[in-house]
Every structure is written in C-alpha cells, then in structure tokens.
Structure 1
Amino acid sequence: MNGSVRMGRVLGVPLRIHWTVPLLVMLFGYSLGSRTLPAAVPEQSNAVYTVAGLAGALLLLGSLLAHEAAHAITARRKGIEVQSITLWALGGMTEMGRPGAARAVFLVAVSGPLTSMVVGAAAFGAGIGLDAASGWRVPAAVLVWLGWVNGVLGVFNLLPAAPLDGGRVVQALVWWRTGDRDRAERAAARGGQILGILLIALGWISVLRGVFAGLWLAVIGFFLVVVAGAERRRARLAPALRGVRAADAMSGPVETCPEWFTVERCVEDVALRTHHSTLVLSDFEGRPSGLLQLPRLARIPAGQRPTLRVRDVATPLSQCTTCAPDYLLQDVLDKLRPSSGLPILVTDDRHVVGIITARDISRIVQRYGLRRPESQ
C-alpha cells in the first residue's frame, strides 16, 4: 500500500505501517480517554484518562496485528505465499497469493475474525476479573472496552462482502458449491459494493442528524465500494487471461534509449521519433536499466534538459515489474506491487523482448469477448 513504511517483521512476514496509523491511535485514544472512561470510571484525573486512552489504543493496534497474523499463519500452513502485513486507519491488510482451493480460502478468511473474537473474550473476561479481584477500575475498563471493540471487529469482518473476511467466506462457499472460482469472486465483490453503498448512505444520514461519527461509516463504505469494484473487474478479466503467457500478450519491438543520454538528446533522437509512450533505458552492455514515461519527460523544464541525464528521471529496473516470456500473465498480474504496476517488461536472458501495457491486456480481453460474450 502506498504511503506505508516497513517496520520490521512479524513471524518472518514484512510488517508495514501506513501513515494513517498514528491517526487511528489518536482517534481511538481520544475517544476512549475523553468519553468512554470518564463515563465508566468517573472522578479520575485527566492524566489518568489520557494515559489509559493511549494504552487502550495501542492494545487495539496490537489486536489488529493479531488478526492479520492469524491470516498469515493460516495461509502459510496452506502453502500460500504471504508477502506482507500492513496496518492502516481502517484496520489491516495481509497481502498474499491466491489460494488454490475453496477450503483454503475459507480457513484463511475465518482465522482473522475468530482470533479477534478470542482476543475480545479474553480481554473482556480479564477486565471483569481484574475489577472484581483488585478494584483497579481504570485498567479493567480499558480491557472491557478492548473486548467489546474486538468483538465488534470480528462480527463486522464476517459480513458477507468482499474485501471483508465474510466476503471471502461467501467466495469459498460459492466456489465449493459451483466449482466456478470466477463466479464466486464476482458474487463476493458484488456483496462488497452493495454493503459499501449502504454504509455510505447510513453514514451520511447519521451526519445529517448530527452524529458526525457517521463520517467514519461513510469512509469505510467508500473503501468497500472501491476495493470491491476492483476485485469484481479482476474476476471478470480472469477468464480472458487464463492460460495466456507473457509472450502472447506483449507488444514490440521495444523502443530503447541509452541511460547516459541527456533529456534533450533523448527527446530529439528518440522520443520525437517513436510511436511508444514508454521508453526502456539500456546500460553500456545493452541490458535494461529502467523505464521512462514520455509524460514524465515532457514535464522536465527546458533549462534542465541539456544537462539532466534520463537515468535520473526514469524508474529504476528494481522498481519495475519484469517477467520471462513463458510466465502466465495472470500470475504476473496477481503479484504486481502497488509501487510498480504496469507496464510489464518481458525479458529473456536480461534482454528486453517485449512490453505489456494496459492496452495489450485490453486487447486480449476484447478478443475473448468476440469468442464468448462477457458474463455479468
């Protein structure tokens, strides 16, 4: 996810923290310390409420991490590659490969909500017991609050709408019942779009009635609509891309430009003569070293063009998506990183043999549509 920073590893999986996480901590810490705790345990100092609110928010962050770690552990046990765990303002996200069976989808999906419910029950029980045994009312109230929040989190995630865990459960059940993975993914994504629209409407109705917390519901709903829409489009693309290899999708020949050229020379000798919107930079040995988009080239001021090298404004090869000609296109697209994305460089023995753009993928989908009408 863009805007996230790597913060070590959890169970061997890279952990990333989005810039919105401090916002999450402050929001829940403020709500807990200024409203919930004073109502539950009155006549305490502001310092006690502030520290307890911050502690509760950090414990909530830890429980979100436990939720995502459960997904990662289950996925690994089922032989699914786990790339990273990211925490952000709306919870967490575990990036992993596509499960190969409906049973794996189901088990990975339910592991997160079950963990949240177990954590919630443990926290709630610990809070009740702490209050009864020692009279430490503030820590007990924090634990009870943590238990309720985790319980709500677990139940909410089981709603039958992708990308929530409940949507994955729906996907697994439809896949198991029909044997059609694409249909299952479309059904789960459709549920996510419907739930998102309902949450947006409910959120705005709440705001109009003076409950400004409804904005949070609207934001969650908007997120569901966007992500579910993307998943539905991907599910509709899958049949057209199945079995297609990179060599079948790529276009060429690829236009190259030496990486030591100045921007001015690149524009005059290469860019103005090409029919492509992307140039591949090559090093002294003729190997690819990066990608240069013509719109990026056009934004460089005229005064910098005689001295600025194209390698200084291009995307390095390490940040580009590359694959071999015999790779399945669907597998390559599933592993795209948000920081790289399209186009995809097709390389053979470290030499570029073609490039795959959004237009190339669209062409494949259109050809598939000519053979078979697109299912809705």
Structure 2
Amino acid sequence: MRGWSFSIGRVFGVEIRIHTFFLLLLGLAISYSSVSGSSGSRGFVLWSILLLAVVVREIARAIAAAWYGLELRSILLLPTGGLQQYATAETTELAATPEVGKRLGIVGPLTNLVFGFLLAAIILATAPEINLLEKPWMTPAHLIRALVWVNVLLAAINLLPAAPLDGGRIFRGEFARNHGLLKGTRAAAGLGQVIGILLAIAGCILPNMWLIMLGGFVFIGAHMDDASMLLSNENDPVRMRDVMLTNFSTLSASDTLEEALQRSVHTLQDVFPVVRGANLVGAVSRQGIVEALQSEGNGYVQGVMTRSFQTAQPDDSLVKTLRRIMGGQGAQLVPVLEGDRIVGIITPQNLAHSMGLLNARRRLRQQTQQHED
C-alpha cells in the first residue's frame, strides 16, 4: 500500500502519507456531485468531510499508541481509516499482541461515534430545523447531515470483522487469544476476503459503486494482511537463498547514465547493484537514472547511486532480515553476499511475489499435514 501513496508532511516526527485511492474518491465525489445537480465544490467538501473523519480517528489512535508506548514512524491515510507503521520491529510485535491489538482496534470506531454524536448535538442545538434522520444521509446537497453520518458509517464499517479494518484487528486479537497470533491473523484475513467479496457482490446487485469500491479495497487489504503473516513467524525456515534473484544485472560505477538506461531497457529489474571491479559500492534505481538525466543531463552512475544499503548472507533468515530492514529506513535493494561476491538480490517487487508464493506453499504444507493426520 505504501507504494501507492505519497507523503504530505510530518507531525511530531511521524510521517503522514495519503493513499492515491483517496484522490480517486475525490474525483468520483466531484463527478457524482456534478451529475446529481450540485456544484463540484460540494463534492470536494463531501470528500473533505470524509478526510476529516479519518484524521480525527487517526489522531485518537496515535494518542492511544503513545499511551501504550508504541513509537510511530508513519500513518497511511485510507478511505476506511489509517494504517500505522511503527518505528521498530519490537514495537510492531507489541501492537500485534491480542490485548494491545484489541484495545487499539476499538479506539477508531469509538472516536468516530463520539465525534459524530457530538456534531449531531451541536447541529440540533443550533439548527433544530435540520432533520438528521432524513435520507439520503450522505449527499453533496446536504453537507451538514453528511458531516454526522460520514462519522457514524465510518465507525460502522470499521466494526466489520475484516482485516485490515478495526473490527478485523479485534477479531484477530480474540481468535489469537486461544489459537495463537498466526492463526488469528489467518482467520481475520480469510474472513476479510470473504466480506470484501460479499460487499462487492452487494454493490453489483443494488447497484452501488461505493460498495463495490469498498469491497475491492477490503479484499486487497485482507490479502496483504494475510501475506504479511510471514513476518510474524520467528521459526520460519525460509532463508534468503530461497527467495533471492540469482539472475540479475549489475551496473559499473563508471558507466554513463545513458549507458545504464540503455542496459536497463533489456531487463525487468527496477534497481541495480553498482560495482567497481568485483566490489559492491552502491545501488541505483531505474527511476533515479531517468530523473538524473532529465534534471542534470548525462553523467556517471557513481554520481547518482546510493551508498547506504544493507546486505545479507544466503543463509540469513528471511524474517529476521526483513525486520532488520524495516527497523531502519527500508531499502530498494538488498544484495545477498557470499564473502565479497554478490550471489543474489532482493527487491520489493521480487519480495512481494516471493512472499505470496511462500504463503501459498505454507498453505499446501498445512493441508498435506492435515491429510496425513
């Protein structure tokens, strides 16, 4: 999800990112407003009301995280709420424990309900002629009414027991209490995918475009939550050699940017190790090469490569390596070294594909064990 988002700044050292799905909703809200006879500006205000509801709940969740001593690195704003990323692997583990996860999960819906009822009380006190129960509840033509119902419905949606919604976190915590965290994560992700499909089907039957989009988003989020279960397994036997790319291209530090771009045309790699002789000296992305050519003209790879990267050994645990990287600043490329020689690389693209395959392999292994038992 982070790859489809962009940063909008930092607050108290926490990076705030917004998902591009939110911008898609902005376009749809403006279009819907124009088609329904209202001005496009009212569609923008309706979208802003949803953004406000998400921001309010995430402020409350950030305060709750600080209460439990959880140091945040970033918050990703989504139409259904937000995803918090923690500063260290230890903090991530603490947030995933059944008790803390359950308490954090209830903060978001409770905040939106309280905020919605508070707004309703203010509206009824200052403008009693407004009927808050009149339908439609959320429309550009009745923005004051939408101000209340967006918060109420956002709370209701997040009570669904579907990962990655708050209800899914609560369900995972309760299930994990008796069956363990891995099974709890699997159950919440599986139920989330089912609920996502049902929401999309309901949206096709009604028809309702918002339900279809919500169902698709819940399904994708649940699938990603299921794949991330790999990171929770300390005893996972997977090593770096099991998932690393062994057929890869390298660039020389003395290559010109035009030469590097020409070589990158003939490979699907997005990031390249940079070598000087037989020694690894840096890494550079295809996008970095293009941007450097556009802004500064032709130069040498050594002038745009990054010299800050983390390496791994072929027999290193995949889980521990990923946690070490996530505990730092992340990485576009993880070279796998055998001595001083590069024998493989890990990139975000290949890792996402490999994690999906490893997750599928785990399921097949579990099914085989069940049949044998």
| Superposition TM-score, scaled by structure 2 size | 0.68
Which of 235, 256, 260 does residue 229 from structure 2 map onto? Answer: 235
- How far residue 282 of structure 1 moved from its aligned partner, in angstroms, is 2.5
Structure 1 residues not aligned, in runs of 5+: 39-45, 208-213, 301-306
Q: Report what 2:17 is aligned to.
A: 16
Which of 111, 115, 120 does residue 115 from structure 1 map onto? Answer: 111
2:310 maps to 1:322: yes
- How far residue 95 of structure 1 moved from its aligned partner, in angstroms, is 3.0
Q: Report what 1:217 is aligned to.
A: 211
Q: Name the amino acid aligned to 1:282.
A: V
Q: Name the amino acid aligned to 1:181.
A: L
Conserved 8 A contact 2:51-2:79: no
- How far residue 60 of structure 1 moved from its aligned partner, in angstroms, is 3.2
The worse-fitting range, judged by mean Cα deviation, of 49-58 and 118-127 is: 49-58
Matches within 5 A, 1:147-158: 147-158=148-159
What is the rounded CA distance, in whole Å, between the counterparts of 1:309 and 1:142 in structure 2?
Answer: 54
SS of the aligned residue for 2:310 comes to: strand
- How far residue 59 of structure 1 moved from its aligned partner, in angstroms, is 3.7
Sort the Cα spacing of 1:240 and 1:365 in 2 relative to 1 into closer, same or farther, 3 A: farther
Conserved 8 A contact 1:157-1:164: yes
Matches within 5 A, 1:152-301: 152-178=153-179, 180-207=180-207, 214-235=208-229, 239=233, 242=236, 256-262=250-256, 279-282=272-275, 286-290=279-283
What is the rounded CA distance, in whole Å, between the counterparts of 2:235 and 2:245 in structure 1?
Answer: 16
| 1:111-170: CA deviation from partner (whole Å, max 9, x where unpaired) | 1111111111111111111114xx7999xx644431222111101101111111101101
Conserved 8 A contact 1:283-1:289: no
Sort the Cα spacing of 1:14 and 1:292 in 2 relative to 1 into closer, same or farther, 3 A: closer
Conserved 8 A contact 2:189-2:222: yes
What is the rounded CA distance, in whole Å, between the counterparts of 1:154 and 1:312 in structure 2?
Answer: 51
Conserved 8 A contact 1:124-1:145: no
What is the rounded CA distance, in whole Å, between the counterparts of 1:32 and 1:125 in structure 2?
Answer: 27
What is the rounded CA distance, in whole Å, between the counterparts of 2:270 and 2:119 in structure 1?
Answer: 56
- How far residue 322 of structure 1 moved from its aligned partner, in angstroms, is 3.1
Q: Report what 2:5 is aligned to.
A: 4
Conserved 8 A contact 1:75-1:104: no
Sort the Cα spacing of 1:217 and 1:353 in 2 relative to 1 into closer, same or farther, 3 A: same
| Superposition TM-score, scaled by structure 1 size | 0.67
Sort the Cα spacing of 1:220 and 1:52 in 2 relative to 1 into closer, same or farther, 3 A: closer
What is the rounded CA distance, in whole Å, between the counterparts of 1:249 and 1:32 in structure 2?
Answer: 48
| 1:302-338: CA deviation from partner (whole Å, max 9, x where unpaired) | xxxxx977839998566xx73555975325436669x
| 1:333-363: CA deviation from partner (whole Å, max 9, x where unpaired) | 36669x9777533479999686346498799
Sort the Cα spacing of 1:18 and 1:189 in 2 relative to 1 into closer, same or farther, 3 A: closer
Sort the Cα spacing of 1:345 and 1:201 in 2 relative to 1 into closer, same or farther, 3 A: same
What is the rounded CA distance, in whole Å, between the counterparts of 2:55 and 2:345 in structure 1?
Answer: 38
The percent of aligned pairs where both chains have the same amino acid is 26
Q: Name the amino acid aligned to 1:281.
A: V
2:333 maps to 1:333: no
Conserved 8 A contact 1:33-1:54: no
What is the rounded CA distance, in whole Å, between the counterparts of 1:366 and 1:147 in structure 2?
Answer: 43
Conserved 8 A contact 2:284-2:304: yes
Q: Name the amino acid aligned to 1:8.
A: G
| 1:187-234: CA deviation from partner (whole Å, max 9, x where unpaired) | 000110110110111011112xxxxxx122111111222221232234
- How far residue 181 of structure 1 moved from its aligned partner, in angstroms, is 0.9
Q: Name the amino acid aligned to 1:280.
A: P
Q: Report what 1:303 is aligned to.
A: none
Q: Radius of gyration: which is bigger? A: 1
What is the rounded CA distance, in whole Å, between the counterparts of 2:278 and 2:254 in structure 1?
Answer: 12
Q: Report what 1:67 is aligned to.
A: 57
SS of the aligned residue for 1:232 comes to: helix
What is the rounded CA distance, in whole Å, between the counterparts of 1:124 and 1:33 in structure 2?
Answer: 27
Conserved 8 A contact 1:10-1:69: no
Aligned CA RMSD, in angstroms, stands at: 5.1
Conserved 8 A contact 1:71-1:112: yes
The worse-fitting range, judged by mean Cα deviation, of 49-58 and 80-89 is: 49-58
SS of the aligned residue for 2:3 comes to: coil
Conserved 8 A contact 1:128-1:144: no
Sort the Cα spacing of 1:2 and 1:150 in 2 relative to 1 into closer, same or farther, 3 A: same
How many residues in Structure 1 have an aligned counterpart in Structure 2?
Answer: 338
